[in-house]
Amino acid sequence: MNLFGVILAAGQGKRMKSKLYKVLHPVCGKPMVGHVTDVLDQLNTDRKVVVVGHGAEAVQAYLGDRAEYALQEQQLGTGHAVLQAKPLIGGEEGITVVVCGDTPLVQQSTLERMIELHKERGAAATILTAEMARPQGYGRIIRAADGSVSKIVEQKDCSPEEDRVKEINTGTYCFDNRKLFEALSKVTNSNAQNEYYLTDVIGILKGEGEGIEAFCTEDEAEAIGVNDRLALSEAERMMRERILRAHMVNGVTLIDPANTYIESGVVIGSDTVIYPGSVLRGNTTIGSDCLIGPNADITDSKLADGVAVKYSVLAEAVIGKETTIGPYANLRPGSVTGEQVKIGDFVELKNATLGDYSKVSHLSYVGDAKVGRNVNIGCGAITVNYDGFNKALTEIEDDAFVGSNSNLIAPVKIGKGAYVVAGSTITHDVAADDLAIARERQVNKTGYAAKLKARFKAKKENKE
């Protein structure tokens, strides 16, 4: 049986008070509509239709060819929004899941169970519901004696008895596709808002003798629709707790979960320990047996097993096994290390590759460089990669030694086993096994320091 998904993403989101279109606001690093689309992908939907309106171009630019698009030029209600998908899927046989683009906490497992119930009962529509201790503001689910749905009653229309019902409508549905669009053609806007409501489809189907079911999720967070910054922060908190819990269940130690931020796309191996203040973002992958933090900020990077990162920033870096980084290192995009590399305190790398066992222990900048195996780069050494117009490459071959406070003026090559003496400014290639000295000869002037002191003292006495 065909499975379709319709994502409602046309609302302007005025209460967000933002230039950014509502469904593009991120939750744990990913736009809300991205979370919803991911879930429909996980369901293996045959087709996905995103109904767009305000900010349509931005949503399409983000999702690209992951979905088809239907434009709701005027926002005339949720029923009207779903109706815009009719030219694309209205004539198809199958099941359609309708979900709002601002409900990032809905889960694959929940939708699968809802669809399973829908099929088992042969329902025309199945509503995703939740039990809430404080259901104020939500439509109530009124069930018949056999457990099917009798009706949905909006908060303002509830009788005292209905008002005490805790089961609410989350706004996520599962429909027989043909029956959905047939019922939508009968929905009117005869209400205070002059809008076409998707909830009216339930009443129409019920009136035609169709079966209406409800699946109650165990996680009320799935009911949250983000309409303002307060709800956004609440969704962020719940999503973060869910992510952290999943990592801990999978064998990751979080020393202080309340002070650890991990975005939804991050993968972490077992027996890795994350210390407080760490922020892991984007498509970051961390291996097993790593020590991350305190205060590690890692974005879109890949760390192999046994890596240690302390008080450092990594962005788009690839780190080999058992490498140590920090404290206070900054690895910018294009930084790649081999195994058992040491990147020490206040070291910056950019677009640089370091071979196995190499060391940049402290206070150095290595940019636009290719560094071999077992190379030692001393304190304060710099690859001078920019002449004000162009970037140039520095090459340092295996087993070379670069002394402290050296400047390597690119383009330049330091050969295998070569030795650059501390304080040198290297402007020409150094051949393998050569020693390079590029600094002024030291001159000591006998007794001259005492003469300078006497001169300064005399000047001071004359002023007084």
Annotated binding site for acetyl-CoA: 385-386, 404, 422, 439
Query: Which segments within 66-193 are labelled E, that is strand?
Result: 68-71, 95-100, 125-131, 140-143, 149-153, 167-176
Asked about 362 being catalytic, the answer comes back as yes
Specify whether the CB–CB gap between 198 and 192 falls below 8 A. no
Distance CA 309, CA 341 (A): 12
Closest CA to 377 of 355, 362, 393: 362
**Which residues sit in the known binding site for Mg(2+)?**
102, 227
Tokens describing residue 104: 């990032």
Specify whether the CB–CB gap between 327 and 343 falls below 8 A. no
In angstroms, the Cα distances linking 35 to 50, 143, 163, 180, 383 are 13, 31, 32, 25, 43
Tokens describing residue 100: 């709002």
∠ Cα 297 301 304 (to 5°): 105
Residue whose structure tokens are 């460089």: 369
Specify whether the CB–CB gap between 111 and 141 falls below 8 A. no
**Which residues sit in the known binding site?**
8-11, 22, 72, 77-78, 102, 139, 154, 169, 227, 332, 350, 365, 376, 385-386, 404, 422, 439
Helices (H), 43-107: 56-63, 78-83, 86-89
What single DSSP character describes residue 139?
Answer: P
In angstroms, the Cα distances linking 59 to 20, 56, 150, 261, 347 are 10, 5, 37, 26, 39
208: how many CB neighbours lie within 10 A of its CB?
Answer: 12
SS3 of residue 201 by DSSP: helix
Distance CA 418, CA 436 (A): 8
386: how many CB neighbours lie within 10 A of its CB?
Answer: 12
Reported as type and span, the H/E element at residue 367 is strand 365-371
Amino acid present at 224: I
Please tell me which residue in 25, 118, 362, 428 is annotated as part of the active site. Answer: 362
Q: Which residues are catalytic?
A: 362
